[in-house]
Amino acid sequence: MNTEKPSRRPTVFVTGASQGIGAGIAVEMARQGYDVAVSSTRPEKLSPVLEQIAAAGARALPVELQIRDQSSIERAMAAVTAEFGGLDVLVNNAAVALRKAALDFTPQEWADIMETNLTGTFFMSQAMGRHLIATKRAGSIISITSTHGMVGMAQRSAYGIAKAGVIHMARMLAIEWAEHGILVNTVAPGAVITESRNAMPTDPNHAKVRMARIPLKKLCTVDDVAAAVAYLASPQASYITGQTLVLDGGVTSQ
């Protein structure tokens, strides 16, 4: 009789995972052997991704999360760590965007973006850092940022500023938590095609100009982002921290 205990499956929590990039990451991590917790402000929207996670042979846990609410963050992390017996990887994907001229932003619109994209990401990361340090386990925090946080673009000011903050946040936390074996990195996609949004403009002339700017002459996909996250969470990336993996077909290299 084999008396060895079965090895524990690694666990991941993907925020903002009801659709698009978050859902794609969640399903790919399930395929990589992780049990997966997924969150949404409306948990009923998680049913499709939960089914895909289960179909990949993984355990799926739905969680309600209002990322701008500290008590909600604490409840979500407590629920995930209690159900899974611990957490190995956090993927900060929850975010909001608003395309608007800088001159027209209201204080409330600015606050909405900063509180979700920057402040929420920080306090989710803080909660994960506290969990990993308290349980003396190494782990990984991966935040989805954007090339808007690296280069300037009109009508993307608040979003880009918040994402730039997330990129630098990863550098700061990577240094502070390195002694605990916690890796902190970001993935920065350019334009991404999702099931609800074709990132290419409908105007053929505009589309032609935009594609001409991309050296690889193709757009990023959800699968590209999910593969990047899976790599950064893997043992093969165990010496990478404080870095940003850019997925833009070469645009920011020009």
Q: What is the mean pLDDT of each run of 10 residues along the chain (254 residues)?
A: 61 97 98 98 97 98 97 98 97 94 96 97 98 97 96 91 98 98 97 68 62 89 97 98 97 91
Return the SS3 of 2. coil
* Whole-number pLDDT of residue 3: 44
Give pLDDT, residue 1: 45
Which residues, other chains included, contact 101 with Cβ-Cβ below 8 Å and sequence gap of 6+? 154, 155
Q: What is the pLDDT of residue 2?
A: 44
Q: Catalytic site residue 231?
A: no
Query: Which residue in 34, 159, 231, 239 is the catalytic one?
Result: 159
Neighbour-count burial of 249, counting CB atoms closer than 10 A to its CB (0-12 exposed, 13-18 middle, 19+ buried): buried
pLDDT score, position 202 = 52
